[in-house]
Each structure stands twice: as structure tokens, then as C-alpha cells.
Amino acid sequence: MKNKLLHILFRYGSIIVILGVILFFSLTLPHFFSYANLTDILRSISIVTFVAIGVTLSLIVDGFDLSVGSTVSIATVVSASMMVWYEQPIYIVIGVPLLIGAAIGCINAFFIVKVRIPDLLATLAIMYIVSGLHKTYTSGYSIYNNMQFQDGTKAPGKFSESFLWLGQGEWLGIPVPVILLIIAVAVVHVFLTYTRFGRQMYVTGGNEEAARLSGIKVKKVRTLAYVASGVFAAFGGVLFAARIGSGQIDAGAPLLMEAVAAVFVGFSIMGAGKPNVIGTFFGAVLIGVLVNGLTMMNVQYFMHDIIKGIVLVLALSVTFYYLYRTRSGKN
């Protein structure tokens, strides 16, 4: 009976927690469970979910990318500068940050795959380097419409309506970032589940030596995983700039831990027990619901992290306890 209950909680525990949190806020706050507020929650988690998808891909190949937060930051200020400083067309404004994200992923992969530095140490070092680079690039200033430079001159450009539409616009009543989020989650899920390369990523993460002996090009798989991680984080940075209409330094700093939390909560969705993009999405939803509900309840901001931590522990404890018992043969 105990093992059966644990199995049920393992498969549905996190979903029960999410539904419980939504029910609590819905009963407590009269305007919480409304279309407008729910779409606001989805809009708010769109950026962190893109970042979390990148972390998910690195975890699938048994790695970990700590540089995603800094990648968001540099992508945010670069996209803003392309528009405000240099008045570039939108494809340049979006394309350059994505190329930078891919380059950061390549550098991470070089040190991890070729030099064999442990992933945590390599991406930590890159995180610091990229963080310093984006602050040096902007001289420590945020970028905004017609900003004034230190020499007294003003930047010639400002954010275009077409770019801001990516972060603030709606299509058929649905926020554009939510549409992009749903498309990204669906495409990555199909890729990981139904394509050969997606399955190779899971095999590589499960047992690298066995994957190599079976003919999988392990180095290529791991490299592309880190490149994809950088690109998704960079796109999150572009969305961030489009949403707030400025290029904020250190924009991605708080997103790293939220993305990691979303990924690990996703381990327990439907008993996956491994990184998966659907679980990552639900993990991001849990965090978004918590932040939104606590804000509506006027809970002081410095209490948010405590409450988020408690709920995340509840969502994760059954999953990892069950996995421990399963692997140790106690079930």
C-alpha cells in the first residue's frame, strides 16, 4: 500500500501541488482564476521557460549549463544596442544575439567536450566572462530609447513597434510570447521524443560509454546540446528586451535559479524521472503561479523566495525519495 501510494505521488505529486496552489489562490483571490490573469502568468513565464529549455537540453546529455543567465543578459543588451545605437533592421536585432548565444554554447562545449573541464566549472567560468563582457559592452549602463551617452550625445534610435510586439503584442487575444512558448515546447518535445537525434541525446546522457560503443557520435551530440542551450537562452534575452522595451544589464541573473528549479520540478511530472521539456514547462508554471499569487496577496517580496523554496521542496521530495528507493531496491 505504501509503495503504491509512493508510485502515485511520484507520477502525479507535482501536478497535485500545482493544482493545489492554483486552487488555493483561486479561493483566496477573486480575480486570480481569470483569463486575463492566467495569460499574464503564461506571459511572465515565457522568458524563464526558454532559458529552462536550454538547461533541460544540457541536463539530458548529463551536463549542466550555468551560463544561461549571463547569456540572457548579453543577448538583451546586444539586441537593444542593435536597435537603439545602430538602428539595425529587426532580423539583425534578433539574429546577432542568437549567433552570440550559439557561440557561447560552442565555447562551453569546447572546454567541456575537448578540454574535459567538468561542466559546472566550465560554464561557471563562462558565466563570469560573459557577465563581464556585457557590462563592459554597455559601460555598465542600461540601454533605452534615445539614451544619452557620457559625451552628451544621444543614441539615434529607439525600439520599433514590430520588435516590441514580440514581447508585448497579442494575436487573436493570445500574448505573442505565449504563442512562441507553446510552439517551442511542442517542437522540442517532438524532437526529443520522436527523432533519432533526440533519442541519441537521452542515450548519451544515460551512459556515455555505451552510447559511444553503439556508434553514437557523443562529442557531436553534447556539443549541439550546449549550442542549443545557448540559443534558447539568447532568445529568452531577446524576448526580455522586447517585453520591457530596454536593455537591462544583469537581466538574466535571477532567471538562472528559476530555470533550474523549473527543470528539476519537471523530473516528477508524470513520473518522468529525467529531464523533459513538458515537465520543464509545468515547473515554470508552478513558479509563475506562486509569484503571481503572492504578489496579488501583497506578500512582501523578500518572503517570496522562502515560500517558493518550501513549495518546491514539497514538489520534489516525493520524486527523489521514490527514485532513491527504486534504485536501491527498497520498492
pLDDT in tens, 275-288: 899 989 998 998 89
In 3D, which of 97, 119, 109, 126 has the Cα closest to residue 226? Answer: 109
Where residue 8 falls among pLDDT bands split at 50, 70, 90?
Answer: low
Query: Does residue 318 carry a pLDDT above 60?
Result: yes
> Rounded CA gap, 171 and 183, in Å?
14
Q: Is 330 exposed, middle or buried (0-12, 13-18, 19+ CB in 10 A)?
A: exposed
> Rounded CA gap, 72 and 253, in Å?
8
Percent of the chain's residues with pLDDT above 70: 90
Mean pLDDT over residues 137-144, rounded? 92
For residue 238, give its domain range.
Answer: 2-327
What's the confidence (pLDDT) of residue 264? 84
pLDDT tens by residue, 205-228: 989 889 998 999 999 999 999 999
Query: Does residue 298 carry a pLDDT above 80?
Result: yes
> Rounded CA gap, 262 and 280, in Å?
5
Beta bridge partners of 148: 154
Beta carbons within 8 Å of 209's beta carbon, 6+ residues apart: none
Which grid coordinates are listed for 144?
Answer: 533605452
Mean pLDDT over residues 140-153, rounded? 88
Tell me the pLDDT of the chain averaged across its residues: 89
**CATH number of the domain that 12 lies in?**
1.10.3470
Average the pLDDT over each of 94-98, 200-204, 236-240, 267-271 and give the range with the smallest value. 267-271
Q: For 106, how many CA atoms within 13 A lie in the half-sphere containing its CB?
A: 6
What's the confidence (pLDDT) of residue 64? 94
Give the CA dihedral 310, 17, 254, 177, nearest 10 degrees: -170
pLDDT tens by residue, 10-48: 666 678 878 888 999 999 998 898 888 989 899 989 999
> How many domains, the chain?
1
What's the confidence (pLDDT) of residue 311? 75
Query: Does residue 314 carry a pLDDT above 80?
Result: no
Query: Does residue 58 carry a pLDDT above 60?
Result: yes
pLDDT tens by residue, 161-203: 999 999 999 998 899 999 999 999 999 999 999 999 999 999 9
> Rounded CA gap, 198 and 213, in Å?
18
* 273, containing H or E segment: none
What's the confidence (pLDDT) of residue 331? 55
Average the pLDDT over each of 69-73, 139-143, 318-322 and give the range with the smallest value. 318-322
What's the confidence (pLDDT) of residue 275? 87
